[in-house]
Amino acid sequence: MTKKTYPYRLLTPGPVPLAPEVLKALSEPVRHHRTPEFQKILLRSLENLKWFFATAQPVMMLAATGSGAMEAALVNTLSPGDEILVIVMGKFGERWAEMGEHFGMKVRRLNVPWGESVNLDTLKIELLKNKQLKAVLTQGVETSTATVADIKEISKLVHEHSEALLLVDAITGLGAMPLPMDEWKLDVVVAGSQKALMLPTGLSFIALSSRAWERTKNARTPRYYFDLSQERKANEKGQTYFSSANSHVVALDVVLEKFKKQNLKTLQARCALLAEATRESGKLLGFSVYSKSPAPSVTALQVPDSVDGAKLRDHLEQTYNVTVMGGQDQLAGKILRIGHLGYITDDDLTAGMELVAQSLNDLGYKVDAAPALKVLKATLAKGPHVS
């Protein structure tokens, strides 16, 4: 059979498949951003974002991918020369460390072995040793290794032992697991459109605690496009600082209203269920779970030794029209990363895993898919289902 006979299935940790009503919203005629109709949608979205972040603080949107909001977090709260501690659990931690260096901050890296979550005792020692730290930066989920961090405990440690702000890249964390910003005292939280918010790539989101807003007053890193004080002022007038990404915002409104109907717990439970089904069926196909602290939003399956993971990924895409991610750097060819965010039906995951099994067989690694699919279906049957 050729590729054409298989429907396209996107099972990556961003971008993610979109819900039918979101696709519909995106196909509507563009409405100018200075119309009362659009302003109403914008204001409602900004209000709903507060609910999504679980914060009383304003949440702002930036017409940039997630990395733009990561940059905004740094340049609005820090100055060149500030000492910061970056928890590096993989590629995205590395990105934040590089950004810090680029903007002239003194970056201390807390390097964590890939596939592991940061050790809390080690973090505590770093905090006690470095009283001058202005910020601690971490990922909620390190997408490159599919590993989750214990943000609640990290936050407690940071606030107990330092004056540092805690900046959390929650781009693949928010929506997949509890991360209540105010309750857990997170100082900056960053999210992205093509992950849990189930939109096309291109928007990112950021909220600051009142402590973090206080720091913006003395933060001397140059900023123009990402000046959050200006953004906030514009939002208060029902506008964005620059042109609104109008189609994205219209779709965002649909997503957030949908999420509110489902509630956050159901959304999180759905991610956890897809993750569990992927891990349990994956093990029965000969994979092992790569991460020691597996995330609910993405699963990294380590391929059997005799299988070339890069070939497996390409075969799955070229032959069966299923896209998953491989590994980067030291993990190249060693893992498949399967995403659990977005509009993923039971059928999407079932077909995806069945075709992973088929691909293994095609490449000469003989495996019986039946027991894995049985476990997969039994797990998914527990619900919740996608709606």
Ligand X SMILES: *Cc1c(COP(=O)(O)O)cnc(C)c1O
Q: Which residues bind ligand X (CB under 6 A)?
A: 14, 65-67, 92, 139, 143, 169, 171-172, 192, 195
Report the distance separating Cα 156 and Cα 127, nearest Å. Answer: 12
Q: Where are the alpha helices (DSSP H) in the chain?
A: 20-26, 36-53, 66-77, 91-102, 120-129, 151-161, 210-216, 228-236, 246-262, 264-284, 309-320, 346-362, 369-381
Strand 59-62 to strand 204-208: parallel, antiparallel, or no bridges (unpaired)?
antiparallel
**Residue closer to ligand X (CB basis): 38 or 226:** 226
Q: CB-wise, 195 or 223, nearer to ligand X?
A: 195
* CB-count exposure of residue 4 (10 Å: 0-12, 13-18, 19+): exposed
- Compare residues 107 and 355 and give the one whose CB is closer to ligand X: 107
Minimal distance, residue 70 CB to ligand X, in Å: 6
Task: Residue 123: name the closest of 91, 96, 86 by CA.
Answer: 86
| Cβ partners under 8 Å of residue 88, min gap 6 | 94, 97, 109, 110, 111, 112
Residue 57 vs 67, nearer CB to ligand X: 67
CB of 92 to ligand X, least distance (A): 4
Both tokens of residue 197?
A: 């918010």
φ and ψ at residue 238, rounded to 5 degrees: 75, 25
Closer to ligand X at the Cβ: 66 or 286?
66
**In the 8-state DSSP scheme, what is residue 181?**
T
Give yes or no for a contact between 300 and 145, defined as CB atoms under 8 angstroms apart: yes
Rounded to a whole number of angstroms, the minimum distance from the CB of residue 170 to ligand X is 8
Pick the closer one to ligand X by CB: 84 or 357.
Answer: 84
Is the backbone of residue 174 left (phi > 0), alpha (psi -120 to 50) or beta?
beta
Whichever of 177 and 307 has its CB closer to ligand X, that residue is: 177
Count the neighbouring beta carbons within 10 Å of the beta carbon of residue 328: 14
Residues contacting 349, CB < 8 A, separation 6+:
11, 274, 277, 278, 376, 380
Least separation in angstroms between CB 139 and ligand X: 5
* Closest approach of ligand X to the CB of residue 99, in Å: 11
Q: In angstroms, what is the minimal distance from the CB of 233 to ligand X?
A: 25
Q: Can you read off the two tokens belonging to residue 288? A: 């092992």
Q: C-beta of 65: minimal distance to ligand X in Å? A: 3
**Which residue's CB is nearer to ligand X, number 65 or number 230?**
65
Least Cβ distance, residue 118 to ligand X (angstroms) = 14
Q: Closest CB to ligand X belongs to which residue?
A: 66
